[in-house]
Amino acid sequence: MTDQLAKLDVIERLERKYEKLFTNVYENAAVASKIVADEIAALIQQKYQQGEKCVLGLATGSSPIGVYRELVRMHQEEGLSFKNVITFNLDEYYPIERENVQSYWYFMHEHLFNHIDIPAENIHIPDGTVAEEDVFDFCQQYETAIRQAGGIDLQILGIGRTGHIGFNEPGSGINSPTRMVTLDSLTIADAAGDFHSEENVPRKAITMGVGTIMQSRRIILMAWGEKKASIIKQAIEGPVVDAVPATYLQHHNNTEIVLDREAAADLVRFKTPWLVRQVQWNDRLIRKATLWLCEKLNKPILKLTNRDYNDNSLGDMVVSHGPAYDINLLVFNMLQKSITGWPGGKPDADDSQRPERAKPYPKRVLVFSPHPGDDMLAMGGTINRLVEQGHEVFVAYQTSGNIAVDDNMVSKYLYFTENIAENLKVDIKKINNELLSSNPGDIDGEETRRLKTYIRQAEAISACRFLGIDEKHILFLNMPFYETGTIKKASLTNNDITQIIEAMRTVKPHQIYLAGDLTDPHGTHRKCFDSIAQALDNVNTDSWLNDCRVWMYHGTWKEWDIAEVDMAVPVSPEELRKKRTAIFRHSSQKEVMFPGPDNMEIWRFAIERNRDTAIKYDKLGMAEYEAIELFVEFPINEKG
Ligand code: F6R
């Protein structure tokens, strides 16, 4: 047990009885990053006052970006000095040039070193350019340099979905030293976004070993977003196994795990709180516990017995809300009422038991889609129903999505365009040369980006037309934060929010749909979500909002948990075929793979996910459908 865990009082320790690492969970990544940055700053200052060097172990990736941003701010605004700081980075791809925008050398300078006063000679990053035969010596020197600096005072870590720390992939030994390693295929898939495709990701890396990391006097591991939830559960609650290298940290007595709510969601104290503390039962929690029990016992809702509840730590729920028969009916009815073939409400029907109200009819519906195509992937079936049921559907594409258009696709279009349009106002030769000379990951010129934007717009129009959406109802917002030409996006500004507000005020919708993913705190979907949340705050006195409901769909990473769902829209076999055709109209995206071990195209993944959802409802004892799309209501009335 780590020292910090041992110091907790008994109630807190019991609540965390499944956790073998000291863990703190914060409201969001920004708040948590600030706390980590504060600790680093305090350490630097304390060491400075003692006349000592402060030795920091640093990580790259999306997890520490907020910490670096805050440290830079403290340097610029509060005079925090890094003159007494020595840094050792965890890892670097191999082979890779420093100047390459994907190198960790580049990353560290862009996010931290270029903006602070650390002496260049105090910075150590594994070198991706040493000759292969010299790598062994280089790694030994790296270890020696850490020892000579006095060892690492504080090591910052992220965690990969394989459970890697540094690039110590599954199978790494607890005593492993700094060395060259081969990257896991899941890690390569996760890095594919940065390198524009999997083929471009280096297969190897130089990394500090687990043994090197374990010698640090203090370790802080950070993880944000729901895509980390499952590996975080294994790292914190699982047994120590070399298949999940992060579990080795359980042997380190001064490690702290810092999480946002989404990354912590699978820990026992959040996912199944009734197992570790007394809970206040309400309908939602009863539903969550009952569905958990169904999954655990592989039983449909209506077959659960008092004994099932009692044997599985739900005895007090049966005492206060039971017997089992009543609880089963309550939960069954909750689910039943959430299933509707009328996502826009059923006109002239009693709507007291339905997720959407009957009036007004028809409704104006505004669907926000982070990229062109997300709309069809997530809710093509529902859009089809809304149109067929006579609602006025508008779609607002929040970003251009241009960086996801492959150069080959542009070349094809150029060939076509060159042959038909003589007076086109783009310099075709120039773009062609740019494409021919560009390397994966290079920033596209403005004209190329414009072409890629048009390609995605043409595809989106075609998909919307196929589902019967009026062309005048398609809005391309091209939000400015996205237009960096690279994977890394700019921060949201007023210009972005204004676009959303204008779209809302133009349509005055009765229903809004948006991507509710909180997967990647720095990703496009998260920013698109934030922009809509901020816009809703801004329009909260507009009268149309009183008659508007907001529904969240989920992006590709993870479907909603059925226990949270407010509206489930069945999709028939015929509708699912239509959905697939609508997705295929986004032809530049057809080959984009879902990053994961199963190597599946995203479109296939989306369709399979809808089918899997239907199977889950069937297993719970609900009607058997071909596929189901899920939505959670965004509580605007509780806002502002
Ligand atoms: C980075 C590193 C990796 C990352 C991990 C998580 O230097 O060694 O272990 O910390 O892959 O990456 P992100 O933070 O991008 O999710």
20-269 and 364-405+446-639: identical CATH topology? yes
> 187 C-alpha to center of ligand 1: Å?
9
Report whether residue 221 contacts ligand 1, using a CB cutoff of 6 Å.
no
- How does residue 425 score in pLDDT terms, banded at 50, 70 and 90? low
pLDDT of 256 above 60: yes
Answer whether 520's CB lies under 8 Å from 161's CB: no
Q: Which atom of ligand 1 is nearest to the CA of 61?
A: 15
CA distances from 426 to 242, 410, 446, 447, 468 (A): 55, 13, 11, 7, 32
- The whole-number average pLDDT for the span 227-254 is 96
Between 535 and 593, the more confident residue is 535
Q: Phi then psi for 489, rounded to 5 degrees?
A: -105, 160
| Residue type for position 365 | V
> 366 C-alpha to center of ligand 1: Å?
37
Answer whether 42's CB lies under 8 Å from 35's CB: no
Q: Which atom of ligand 1 is nearest to the CA of 157?
A: 10
Between 558 and 507, the more confident residue is 507
**Which residue of 159, 184, 230 sits with most ligand 1 atoms within 8 Å of its CB, as the best mutation to test the pocket?**
159
> 607 C-alpha to center of ligand 1: Å?
30
pLDDT for the residue numbered 418: 66
Report whether residue 322 contacts ligand 1, using a CB cutoff of 6 Å.
no
pLDDT for the residue numbered 520: 59
Report whether residue 164 contacts ligand 1, using a CB cutoff of 6 Å.
yes
Instruction: Clarify whether 226 is annotated catalytic.
Output: no
Q: What is the torsional sign of CA 418, 423, 424, 425?
A: positive
> 410 C-alpha to center of ligand 1: Å?
32
DSSP conformational letter for 482:
G
Q: Phi then psi for 205, rounded to 5 degrees?
A: -155, 160
- The whole-number average pLDDT for the span 356-369 is 97
pLDDT for the residue numbered 92: 98
pLDDT for the residue numbered 255: 97
Sequential DSSP letters for 37-104: HHHHHHHHHHHHHTT--EEEEE--SSTTHHHHHHHHHHHHHH----TTEEEEESEEEES--TTSTTSH
- How does residue 640 score in pLDDT terms, banded at 50, 70 and 90? very low
DSSP conformational letter for 490:
P
pLDDT of 199 above 70: yes
pLDDT for the residue numbered 104: 96
Task: Quickly list H helices, 238-282.
Answer: 261-264, 268-271
User: Which helix (H) or strand (E) segment is 106 a member of?
Assistant: helix 104-111
pLDDT of 302 above 90: yes
pLDDT of 260 above 70: yes
CATH topology of domain 20-269: Rossmann fold (3.40.50)
Report whether residue 344 contacts ligand 1, using a CB cutoff of 6 Å.
no
**Half-sphere exposure in the Cβ direction for 43 (13 Å, CA):** 21
Average pLDDT over all residues of the chain: 92
DSSP conformational letter for 547:
G
pLDDT for the residue numbered 637: 61
- How does residue 435 score in pLDDT terms, banded at 50, 70 and 90? confident
Report whether residue 165 contacts ligand 1, using a CB cutoff of 6 Å.
yes
Tell the residue nearest (CA) to atom 3 of ligand 1.
166
Active-site hit among 169, 237, 392, 629:
169
Q: Phi then psi for 506, rounded to 5 degrees?
A: -70, -45
Provide CB contacts within 8 A for 233, sequence distance 6+: 266, 267
Helix axes 283-297, 324-338, angle to 10 degrees: 100
pLDDT for the residue numbered 337: 97
> 196 C-alpha to center of ligand 1: Å?
17
Asked, as a colleague might, if the bond just before 95 is cis with ω within 30 of 0, I would say yes
pLDDT for the residue numbered 489: 80
Between 640 and 445, the more confident residue is 445
pLDDT of 545 above 90: yes
- How does residue 542 score in pLDDT terms, banded at 50, 70 and 90? very high
Distance, C-alpha 355 to centroid of its chain: 27
> 75 C-alpha to center of ligand 1: Å?
24
Answer whether 357's CB lies under 8 Å from 345's CB: yes
Sequential DSSP letters for 506-533: HH--SEEEEE---S-TTSHHHHHHHHHH
| Residue type for position 573 | P
Report whether residue 155 contacts ligand 1, using a CB cutoff of 6 Å.
no
**Which residue of 33, 90, 155, 228 sits with most ligand 1 atoms within 8 Å of its CB, as the best mutation to test the pocket?**
90
- The whole-number average pLDDT for the span 282-288 is 97
> 331 C-alpha to center of ligand 1: Å?
40
Report whether residue 521 contacts ligand 1, using a CB cutoff of 6 Å.
no
pLDDT for the residue numbered 440: 67
pLDDT of 462 above 50: yes
- The whole-number average pLDDT for the span 304-316 is 97
Tell the residue nearest (CA) to atom 9 of ligand 1.
166
Provide CB contacts within 8 A for 28, sequence distance 6+: 260, 261, 521
Percent of the residues in the chain that have a pLDDT greater than 90, as a whole number: 77
pLDDT for the residue numbered 356: 96
Long-range contacts of 120-127 (CB under 8 A, 24+ apart): 122/85, 122/86, 122/87, 123/87, 124/86, 124/87, 124/88, 124/89, 125/89, 125/92, 126/89, 126/91, 126/92, 126/94, 126/178, 126/205, 126/206, 126/207, 126/208, 127/92, 127/206
Report whether residue 245 contacts ligand 1, using a CB cutoff of 6 Å.
no
- The whole-number average pLDDT for the span 219-243 is 96
The torsion defined by the Cα of 61, 64, 66 and 70, in degrees rounded to 10, comes to: -130
Of 226-230, 335-339, 479-483, 555-559, the poorest mean pLDDT is in: 555-559
Answer whether 393's CB lies under 8 Å from 469's CB: yes
Neighbours of 303 (CB within 10 A): 12
Q: Encoding tokens for residue 317?
A: 């729920």
Tell the residue nearest (CA) to atom 12 of ligand 1.
61
CATH number of 364-405+446-639: 3.40.50.10320
Vertex 466, ends 462 and 471: CA angle to 5°?
60
DSSP conformational letter for 169:
-
621: alpha, beta or left, given left = phi > 0 and alpha = psi -120 to 50?
Answer: left
Q: Which atom of ligand 1 is nearest to the CA of 158?
A: 10
Tell the residue nearest (CA) to atom 2 of ligand 1.
166
Sequential DSSP letters for 6-24: HTS-HHHHHHTTT--SEEE
Q: What is the 3-state secondary structure (H, E, C) of 383-415?
A: HHHHHHCCCEEEEEECCCCHHHCCHHHHHHHHH
Asked, as a colleague might, if the bond just before 323 is cis with ω within 30 of 0, I would say yes
pLDDT of 597 above 60: no
Report whether residue 91 contacts ligand 1, using a CB cutoff of 6 Å.
yes
- How does residue 498 score in pLDDT terms, banded at 50, 70 and 90? very high
- The whole-number average pLDDT for the span 321-337 is 97
Reduce the DSSP state of residue 558 to 3 states and report it: coil
Q: Encoding tokens for residue 31?
A: 């708040």
Percent of the residues in the chain that have a pLDDT greater than 70, as a whole number: 95
pLDDT in tens, 602-625: 899 899 999 999 999 999 999 999
Answer whether 423's CB lies under 8 Å from 552's CB: no
- The whole-number average pLDDT for the span 514-539 is 86
pLDDT of 19 above 70: yes
Q: Phi then psi for 282, rounded to 5 degrees?
A: -130, 175
Domain boundaries, the chain: 20-269, 276-338, 364-405+446-639
pLDDT of 639 above 50: no
Between 600 and 287, the more confident residue is 287
Q: Which residues pair with 165 in a beta bridge?
A: 168
